[in-house]
Structure 1
């Protein structure tokens, strides 16, 4: 039986008989929700007679007709069907791994100002109570609870008590707050309310630093997406404009946006036309035209024109806010090391209760037993990962790299293989038309206008080259029908009831267009390093374009630095022709390359590499690379042609089109993992010493609290070093 770390969808044959085969596929345990559909799809295959599988064991039994199918045919058929569900299985596995076994307070939901007020109250109270002599042990029991220090301790612990009780109620297990709650309650009942206040104070210091780091992270992401307007013009019923704060705008209001203004809302244009720079959200290089009934998004800039927009999303519902919240997902976005820390700390909490009971039975000392409750590993271990990961995400965002969650930090750190797209990723993404050759009765004007009509709505870099040349020559796009995009092939539309196709050689051949007339010229352009775009009208080729897109200056340096950092497999996957792919692969000294690939072909290669044990980092522009970005261990979108698909599909988005930010990000995340390991050692070491000294009676309750919470503060400060990490273009280990 394969181990639990074997590839999810790998088919392992358990036993075979003639007409019968049983296999094990680990990913089947996550596919119970689509079990009936999988069985139905397999049964539809001719020759398969019976199919059944168990989501508990992950075993699949198939009976087949040996006169129609060979054993290898059956295994291949199973692989094809299950391959469609590989991404679903992968996502469900990640969610299961990251499921919290106890509930914890989400510190990012508590503001820094809240913790600041608590710190001021607690520290002021400690000073005042000490001056009044409350630092000496007071009476316990009911009289102890009614003292001012005790009442303040209980009042400040409301959120801790709620979290601790909720964990017992809903998870049936104690969490770190349950332990802290118990320690505070015992301290108050035994007249040690000053120790309880000190526990709360030091705990709040650590949590304030954590909340501060998370708040700075949100601010950095918001700044990166460039949203800072505070007021907008609201259109009143009589058509007049009212200048109001953004907070006063509601859904279904109409706002007026003019040249140079940033949008603060998502909505639909109801009047006017404008060119909008969407690069902050989609990364699209050219401003896009927006008119009536088309959507516009917060965080974009109106470059020219004026529009009235009906508000659909405001505040936290806007596209920008949703992107900001992506990094705060505390379940499926957790790093495995963070999940491990949470589980490890949760498992140690019962140990503290057990130690407290054992120490009390052995010594009859409530003081020593209380120290066992105050000194725990869980708080420091939990914050040691959460703060470090948040600080890493903040530093990256401040430098134009959006990392959507802690799990991607760990994936980047562990990556040993890199897969890259070519156009718009390794190249500048600003291709220019070098050659324009019409055939037959066509001329350059007709060739360019027909191609622009088909490419008008495309975000592909080659489309930008055609549209740019059209504008330079002051030609106009003719009226045309709807555009049909064939991914990895080309586009087509209709002009005067004639079909116009623009795309690569494979697209033309699939539509039975004779390319003989272009053969010699195409070979010549190929040798000059130009990408070939074919243009056909109905079944006749009317011309070709030769387009050149220069390689990014820093891409070679970036790949060299990735190799220095231990990445030993770098591959090129492109939809371009063999000659272009080979030229780039050789120049960049890549380990392998594949060409003329469809988006699903790229995803298949990524899955194949993962099946061989590789941890794959996919770097693409998010247009044709969306499936591969989703399937990879970590997908990075970079390039001037990134689209909104990149924001959704990629795990990391680089807004600054500089490939040297990729190795810089790798250096940062590896440093983050080192900091987390240092934090683990510090928390476990310091608290173990504290537990031993407390059990032996050498450490009073007050100093037990100081020691324990100091260890938590130390790891948070250590994590804070990541905020100061120099995110420059040099390799720093």
Structure 2
């Protein structure tokens, strides 16, 4: 490939190969070829001039490797490919600037070089679209913005005011382009938040052997293994194994569905329990998930309610604009004054600025490591008066530590209790299981596979056969209520005396309680400050839900300054509690991170998942935090409330400014041309102001301030 280096500064390299070097689709293929190199982070291509923009790690030797790759590319190496979501987003922005530049350039060239008769003819030609749309609304008995725009353009032309008509259409076209850009950007952001990001899958060959392969290499008819907690990457049929699949991302139903041989599974759903082998039906764009994403792109369901109200309000104002125009003419008998009123349109600015404010807030959330799946979720978050926290992994660091091991009989000593528990728990990636395994490793308690295959009961515990005897390990509810393990009075007293301040994992062998493993999971350092600030921002009710015993839950709530908490809560209880709060008229935020939080996340008015949440929690949640900073909940509250404040401020400013134009027009102090120019210019200014950031630098850096407070308190 022949090319010229246009820019070279550290990690950013731009080369240009010329206008006909590759097509748009071949540019995507070229980008994917370069992205196969681990030292290249991003590649953007432009078919218009053959530009290739490469971001890499900046090492000199890697830059030479890039040149070697480009030098070795021939026309036979080019292939067509699909763009990445990052490329799509950049193209949307580039196209917007390209179109805006073209519109401004054509207008300036026309005013400078074209004689007036030709300019007037072009104005008449451009007016056809607005007049036609206005007539369409009129014949369909719709009194809307299109009718108002058509009437204003027609009125100006009938008065012989070609320049005002041209200026109005130019500014309207700028506004339309800006609105189109924001809508496309919003769709791109939403699509990116829902899309699967799975790089590798486990392929099962004819001999039953498993090997990890790139997801893009999977074909129809292949068989892949999906394990507990994994996101299903394809649409397909279960051919081996069984399990419970949560299809909330597909159906909205939080209860998992039992999948056995012959049953269909879909990409984007999550394995709650079990392991299955899936024969691939379809992948990538052919999956049901991607078809749903395509539907979402054209859906109104995820719009903020405020945005819908603004659009309805905009159209409802139009009849009053016509009425004011008619009254002005009847009273003054002055067509110029009436036209000045007609040129002023409250609805245009309202209809533009509200979605811009919503989309801007969603973009700002993304910039601050928060992914919001729709504008309505920001609005619900701003209006919420109640927040419900799952404790483990949300208010705590999900890094529990074994603090005590208590034998409950003379059959097994302390070290044997810990060794057995670690042997059983090592098969699961749960944080408590990991703490038990790590503690055994620290103490040098090695163990062999002394048990049969284990069965995991979600949010309860594990059942297996250990040394020929039935072994169960898990929560108090699981052992004593579900498994009917007997608890003597002596044992009850011992538990009350030695384990009340901790979370406890119970171990029973052959139907008898044999040991307790006491675990502490310290709360996040910033959690107390976050809760205090959320209260100051209008969250009236802060509730903690936990599976811990009463004593452990009470101690945790006290340290966090939480007055409302529920202990020994089961997954189904969490969902029920959220529904009860909603029935009381509360608007509820649910914050969680685990598989067992998914029903409650689905039930809340708006749900938030943490960075290290399970796949299923991230899929169900309306908002996902992409950092591990709990203070992001405060930032999100400020952002969402600021979004609504900005919308309301826009309403007031639009009303005052356009109302002033109406008064000045009726008094004859401004001409229709001036009225039109000021109105359309103000619409663009209000639109631009709607894209301004809500959060200040202080808001964004508050997590640093919290850390400083913590250090001061500690000292």
Write the deviation string for residues 291-349 of structure 1: whole angstroms up to 9, x where unpaired: xx999989x9xxxxxx99969432596979978997x7863333333232222212112
Structure-1 residue corresponding to 2:463: 492
When residues 331 and 219 of structure 1 are mapped into structure 2, their CA distance, relative to the original with a 3 A threshold, is closer
Q: What aligned pairs does 1:57-206 form with structure 2 within 5 A after superposition?
A: 111-113=92-94, 115-131=96-112, 147-154=121-128, 165=136, 173-187=142-156, 191-206=160-175
Structure-2 residue corresponding to 1:522: 495
Alignment of 1:534 with 2:502, yes or no, is no
When residues 135 and 554 of structure 1 are mapped into structure 2, their CA distance, relative to the original with a 3 A threshold, is farther
Write the deviation string for residues 58-102 of structure 1: whole angstroms up to 9, x where unpaired: xxxxxxxxxxxxxxxxxxxxxxxxxxxxxxxxxxxxxxxxxxxxx
Alignment of 1:549 with 2:518, yes or no, is no
Where in structure 1 are there 5+ consecutive unaligned residues? 1-107, 139-143, 235-242, 257-262, 271-280, 282-292, 301-306
When residues 498 and 474 of structure 1 are mapped into structure 2, their CA distance, relative to the original with a 3 A threshold, is closer
Structure-1 residue corresponding to 2:545: 573
Q: What aligned pairs does 1:443-454 form with structure 2 within 5 A after superposition?
A: 451=421
When residues 679 and 164 of structure 1 are mapped into structure 2, their CA distance, relative to the original with a 3 A threshold, is farther
Identify which of 577, 583, 586 aligns with 1:605: 577
Please provide the CA RMSD for this pair: 4.9
When residues 135 and 443 of structure 1 are mapped into structure 2, their CA distance, relative to the original with a 3 A threshold, is farther
Q: Secondary structure at the match of 1:402?
A: strand
Shift of 1:419: 2.2
Which moved further from structure 2: 666-675 or 185-194? 185-194
Tell me if structure 1 keeps the 8 A contact 2:550–2:568. yes
Shift of 1:427: 0.9
Q: Secondary structure at the match of 2:596?
A: coil
Identify which of 317, 339, 347 aligns with 1:378: 347
Shift of 1:127: 2.5
Identify which of 637, 644, 649 aligns with 1:673: 644
Separation (CA, whole Å) in 2 of partners of 1:644 and 1:323: 18
When residues 375 and 412 of structure 1 are mapped into structure 2, their CA distance, relative to the original with a 3 A threshold, is same
Shift of 1:211: 5.0
Structure-1 residue corresponding to 2:380: 411
Write the deviation string for residues 100-156 of structure 1: whole angstroms up to 9, x where unpaired: xxxxxxxx9994455445434433343333335766899xxxxx7xx223224546x
Tell me if structure 2 keeps the 8 A contact 1:668–1:725. no
Tell me if structure 1 keeps the 8 A contact 2:463–2:470. yes
Separation (CA, whole Å) in 1 of partners of 2:91 and 2:662: 31
Alignment of 1:504 with 2:475, yes or no, is yes
Structure-2 residue corresponding to 1:663: 634
Tell me if structure 2 keeps the 8 A contact 1:377–1:683. yes
Shift of 1:451: 4.8
Structure-1 residue corresponding to 2:610: 638
Which moved further from structure 2: 380-389 or 215-224? 215-224
Shift of 1:589: 1.5
Separation (CA, whole Å) in 1 of partners of 2:693 and 2:327: 40
Separation (CA, whole Å) in 2 of partners of 1:454 and 1:625: 24
Separation (CA, whole Å) in 2 of partners of 1:624 and 1:632: 14
When residues 661 and 477 of structure 1 are mapped into structure 2, their CA distance, relative to the original with a 3 A threshold, is farther
Tell me if structure 2 keeps the 8 A contact 1:454–1:483. no
Separation (CA, whole Å) in 1 of partners of 2:391 and 2:662: 57
Tell me if structure 2 keeps the 8 A contact 1:348–1:378. yes
Which moved further from structure 2: 680-689 or 460-469? 460-469
Write the deviation string for residues 548-585 of structure 1: whole angstroms up to 9, x where unpaired: 21211111111122223233332222221101110011
Q: Secondary structure at the match of 2:639?
A: helix
Separation (CA, whole Å) in 2 of partners of 1:469 and 1:617: 36
The two structures have a TM-score, normalised by structure 1, of: 0.65
Q: Secondary structure at the match of 1:721?
A: coil
When residues 416 and 507 of structure 1 are mapped into structure 2, their CA distance, relative to the original with a 3 A threshold, is same
Identify which of 672, 681, 706 aligns with 1:701: 672
Structure-2 residue corresponding to 1:102: none
Separation (CA, whole Å) in 2 of partners of 1:682 and 1:250: 56
The two structures have a TM-score, normalised by structure 2, of: 0.66
Separation (CA, whole Å) in 1 of partners of 2:328 and 2:193: 53
Q: What aligned pairs does 1:67-466 form with structure 2 within 5 A after superposition?
A: 111-113=92-94, 115-131=96-112, 147-154=121-128, 165=136, 173-187=142-156, 191-212=160-181, 252=220, 312-314=282-284, 331-360=300-329, 367-437=336-406, 441=411, 451=421, 460-466=430-436
Tell me if structure 1 keeps the 8 A contact 2:503–2:552. yes
Alignment of 1:595 with 2:557, yes or no, is no
Q: Secondary structure at the match of 1:177?
A: helix
Tell me if structure 2 keeps the 8 A contact 1:110–1:211. no
Tell me if structure 1 keeps the 8 A contact 2:387–2:591. yes
Identify which of 588, 601, 604 aligns with 1:616: 588
Tell me if structure 1 keeps the 8 A contact 2:233–2:283. yes
Shift of 1:382: 1.9
